[in-house]
Amino acid sequence: LKDTLTPVLAALETVVTSIVLAILLVGPFGLNGLAAAIAISAWLETAALAILLRGRVPDYGDGLRYVLAVMARSLAAAAAGGAVAWLVNQALLGAWGEVPGFLLLVARTTFASAAGGLVIVGGALALRITELRTIVEIVVDLLRRRGRA
């Protein structure tokens, strides 16, 4: 919209918010507090920019409803995939023990990630998340480019 000042100011606000939240959250939560500070700041920046765009973009509500619908379906697929990955990890953890050695740790991580990933892809197909096709096309294109190099 030929307005570079607004996103720059929003980004600066995000940096300040992130630093303040990190100072507050790292003590009680350690490294997880830092991750939470960054995530919370990013969501606040997104919300601020969305609110500012509302008055500047025609048919903003339609686009926002679409994005929120995709976000809700994506969250459902991701939650299901995360739950499956966690269950597979827990099952293999019980079978192989806490300290299985490097190869079994790699195998456990691979199986849990693959199971969760398959559920996410299946959920995206079932929930008709059309962006999945775009993601697959981008990955295939990147793999083709790498093969030519």
Tokens of 75: 């969250």
- Over range 36-47, report the average pLDDT: 94
Tokens of 55: 């008055």
Q: Tell me, what DSSP letter sits at residue 57?
A: S
Residue 98 has pLDDT above 60, yes or no: yes
pLDDT per residue over 101-121, tens digit each?
A: 899 999 999 999 999 999 999
C-alpha–C-alpha distance, residues 7 and 13, integer Å? 10
C-alpha–C-alpha distance, residues 60 and 53, integer Å? 8
% of residues, the chain, pLDDT over 70: 99
